[in-house]
Amino acid sequence: MICLSANTAMKDSFYKKRILLLFGSPHHVGSTFRLVMQFLDQFEDHTYLLEQYNLFEMDLLPCTDCGNCQHGLCCLNHIDYYEEIIEAIQRADLIVLASPVYCGGFPAPVKAMMDRAQQFYVNKFAGRARTFPQRKKGILLMTGGNCGEKLQEYLSIPTKMFFDCINTEYCGKAIIGNLDNKLSFEADFSHIFDKISDI
Ligand SMILES: Cc1cc2nc3c(=O)[nH]c(=O)nc-3n(C[C@H](O)[C@H](O)[C@H](O)COP(=O)(O)O)c2cc1C
């Protein structure tokens, strides 16, 4: 069983795949957590290492478009915990962005984390060495009270933009969008596993 405590890096090992969970719910054991657990249950035990960041507990600062990343990485990385996220992305084979839907988008701490990835996009076009030279795979897991198909499709757009910034292939999403009407759910991840089977 994986312990989903705050910002925990599990023991190192060279032969296991590394999953980075960017967890964007304020509830440690809410709907988003349950969706994440269903996803992780698809893997055989002991075949992966999980590293988790609880974005609601990190006080990440928002991008202010100060322009400093034209000349290097974001000047805020040293002030909050973004440097740790960068290093965790570098270590990861699979990045799982997990979040509830808030006002048709992402909760503020998740959005701050995604916006700050713009620094890597700027760096790429400034011709500097890439922070993430090795391409990763990424997926989106979301829960919503009343999130219809149109909104679910839309949510792939900012997700793909974020993953593009960190040189990550967006391999699909599992969104449970109707939790206002039901308590239990069983997510289907087969379309995702078709694309991530080689990690
Ligand atoms: C501030 C706020 C805004 C929300 N906005 C939406 C929304 O736009 N669409 C939707 O489907 N659900 C919305 N919800 C409902 C949550 O997405 C839903 O309850 C989710 O499953 C909560 O996940 P959690 O248990 O991990 O916190 C909102 C909830 C909150 C607190």
First-to-last CA distance in the chain?
Answer: 21
Q: Which atom of ligand 1 sits closest to the CA of residue 27?
A: 27
Decide whether any atom of ligand 1 lies within 6 Å of the 167 Cβ.
no
Atom 16 (ligand 1): residue with closest C-alpha?
Answer: 144
pTM: 0.93
Determine the Cα–Cα distance for residues 36 and 96; give it in Å rounded to an integer. 9
Q: From the CA of 111, how far away is ligand 1's center (Å)?
A: 15
Show the domains of the chain with their CATH numbers.
17-196 (3.40.50.360)
Angle between helices 118-125 and 149-165 (to 10 degrees): 50
| Polymer length of the chain | 199
Decide whether any atom of ligand 1 lies within 6 Å of the 24 Cβ.
no
Q: How many helices (H) and strands (E) does the chain have?
A: 6, 5
Decide whether any atom of ligand 1 lies within 6 Å of the 27 Cβ.
yes
Q: What local confidence, expressed as pLDDT, does residue 144 receive? A: 98
Q: Which atom of ligand 1 sits closest to the CA of residue 32?
A: 26
Structure token digits, residue 196:
């991530």
Q: From the CA of 63, how far away is ligand 1's center (Å)?
A: 24
Q: What local confidence, expressed as pLDDT, does residue 9 receive? A: 45
> pLDDT digit of tens for each residue in the chain (199 aa)?
344 444 444 444 556 899 999 999 999 999 999 999 999 999 987 889 999 999 999 999 999 999 999 999 999 999 999 999 999 999 999 999 999 999 999 999 999 999 999 999 999 888 888 999 999 999 999 999 999 999 999 999 999 999 999 999 999 999 999 999 988 999 999 999 999 998 9
Decide whether any atom of ligand 1 lies within 6 Å of the 54 Cβ.
no
Q: Are 68 and 11 in contact (CB under 8 A)?
A: no
